[in-house]
Structures are given as C-alpha cells and as structure tokens.
Amino acid sequence: MAGRLDGKVALITGAASGIGRGAVDLFVAEGARVIAADVQDDKGARLEEDHKGKAVYVRCDVTRESDVAAAVAAAKDRFGRLDCLFNNAGAGGPRETSDGVTAGSFDAVMHLHVRAAMFGMKYAVPLMKAQGGGSIISTASVAGLRTGFGPFLYSVAKAAIIHMTHVAATEFGPHNIRVNCLCPGLIATSIFGTGLGLPRQVADATVGAIAEGSKNAQFIPRGGLPKDIAEAALYLASDGASFVTGHALVVDGGLTLGPSVTSQMMAFAPIVQALGLDMAALQALAEKPS
C-alpha cells in the first residue's frame, strides 16, 4: 500500500545516514516531503540530489536549541506545515562506567539524546496544535529497557527518552498529537564503529560486516537494518497509528526475549557436568524439532 504519508511533512534529525537516511528514503517513497536535518553536509547534499524537491537538507546540530528551532521553522517555511517530527539523531557516546562518569560526558550524551528530543517537541508542538494534530517519534533503544545493551550513559539517556515519551503523550494527547518512541536492537549502522573511535568514513564501511556478524544475535536469524526501523517509524507517522500513543515499540528481532535454548543449556553446563550427565546429548535433545 503506497502513499501512506501523502500530503504529510516530516522533520527527521540525524537524517543523512543510518536509520535517519533509511527513514528519509522510505518517507519520501510513501509521499511525504521531508526536512532532513544533520551536520554531515556532504551526505546531506547527496540526499537532496537523490530526492529533488521532496527532501531538503538543513544543517542542524541538535545540541544547539537554536538549530532545532530553525529546523522546525524550515518545515513551515518550505512546506507550510509539520505532521511528523522524528527525533532520531544520536551516537553511542563514551563507554564510561557509572563510577567513572565525568560531567562533560554526562552533558554531551544527555544534550545529544534527551535535550535534543525535548527541544524538538518544544518547537514542533505549537505547529501541530495549530493544524489539529501530528506525530512525534523519538529513537530510544533496547538499552533503555534492559541492562547489558549499551554503555552506562547511553542506556540512561535512552531510558529517559522512553519515560519522556510517556509523559509527553499525556500532555499532548488532548491536542491529537501522538508521542511514541522506537527501541531498536542491533541495527547495522556506523554508530558501532564511531562509538569505538573509528573515523566516520571507516565506520561507514563496517556496516555490512556488522549486519553479517550480528545475524545470529537474536532469534530472527539476520542482521537488523535501518529499513527495519524506518518501517516502524513510517507506521507511527501514518494515520494507521492514529490510536497509538505513549508506546515504546521494540524492533529487535527478538533480542530482548532472552537467551536461546542453546545458550541456556551452556549456562547450566557446570551443573550438568557435576551431575555426571552428557552435555552434548542434552543439547542435541534441546535442539531437536518438536
């Protein structure tokens, strides 16, 4: 079913690569006009070239409130309205543990994720109220729901986005403004490479390897792709989700469901061996189709 966003205008942050670029491509294909906000000017220029007249690149550092306000204003100035705000910009951030956090790292991570999404809502909501409604989507993470899926500060920031989503949904629902967030699992983007200190171009080249290497990390046996998250964002942006608000939509291929049967058996290996049982036979039994 094509045209699910016909006539709608969206602002997507972090739009020039990864999940953001996937969302721009899909939103335009489904009929939307898009303000693509990012700080990667070269990729932004290519994005505009690929979607002539349907996507406009705006340089926007989401840690600067004035840039966020200008990006929202660009939607109104260029396309006359704003139907969807997708707060997507983010990064993996420092790998400091809770007993080693610095004030600078805390501020950087919270400004990039939490404050940026908050200011996005601050400036988008008045436009949406005036036109009778809209959809706000933020990229959270499974790291905001479970431990062990991201660094300390990143995980705390994503948990804050999830709760901010819940609170904002109660405030804006009476104005027909829906507020939801997405919780991706292992999605093949450059965030992993940049989080480990690789230069952006080198990190971009690792995406295929990440998809291949993570195909067995969850129950659905393939790597997660930006398009998987873009499809979820498309649903939340569309009229098909007109009765959905305050929801944290997990898109993780089953990653957060827990360990596989094989992994569970291996965890109990010391006990099985202590009882003198045959671990290989038990594992084969567990993997036998019913």
Is 121 domain-assigned? Answer: yes
Is 72 domain-assigned? Answer: yes
Asked if residue 267 and residue 155 are part of one domain, the reply reads: no
Residue 181: what residue type? C
Is 85 domain-assigned? Answer: yes
Asked if residue 175 and residue 47 are part of one domain, the reply reads: yes
Asked if residue 268 and residue 228 are part of one domain, the reply reads: no
| CATH number, residue 84 | 3.40.50.720
Asked if residue 278 and residue 206 are part of one domain, the reply reads: no
Asked if residue 224 and residue 275 are part of one domain, the reply reads: no
Asked if residue 185 and residue 75 are part of one domain, the reply reads: yes
User: Given this model, what pLDDT does residue 286 score?
Assistant: 57
Asked if residue 163 and residue 26 are part of one domain, the reply reads: yes
Asked if residue 164 and residue 287 are part of one domain, the reply reads: no
> Considering only CA atoms, which of 208, 204, 232 is closest in space to residue 222?
208
User: Given this model, what pLDDT does residue 165 score?
Assistant: 98
What domain range is 157 assigned to?
Answer: 9-257
Asked if residue 273 and residue 155 are part of one domain, the reply reads: no
Asked if residue 263 and residue 188 are part of one domain, the reply reads: no
Is 161 domain-assigned? Answer: yes
Asked if residue 252 and residue 269 are part of one domain, the reply reads: no
Q: Which pTM value belongs to this model?
A: 0.87
Distance, in Å, from the CA atom of 274 to the CA atom of 290, rounded to the nearest integer, reads 28
Is 1 domain-assigned? Answer: no
Q: Name the phi and psi angles at 179, rounded to 5.
A: -130, 115
Is 3 domain-assigned? Answer: no
Is 63 domain-assigned? Answer: yes
Q: List active site positions.
A: 154
Is 230 domain-assigned? Answer: yes
User: Given this model, what pLDDT does residue 199 score?
Assistant: 63
pLDDT tens digits in sequence order for the chain, 290 residues long: 579 999 999 999 999 999 999 999 999 999 999 999 999 999 999 999 999 999 999 999 999 999 999 999 999 999 999 999 999 999 988 889 999 999 999 999 999 999 999 999 999 999 999 999 999 999 999 999 999 999 999 999 999 999 999 999 999 999 999 999 999 999 987 666 566 565 666 566 667 777 787 788 888 999 899 999 999 999 999 999 999 999 999 999 999 998 765 555 556 566 656 767 676 665 665 555 54
Asked if residue 270 and residue 132 are part of one domain, the reply reads: no
| Domain count of the fold of the chain | 2
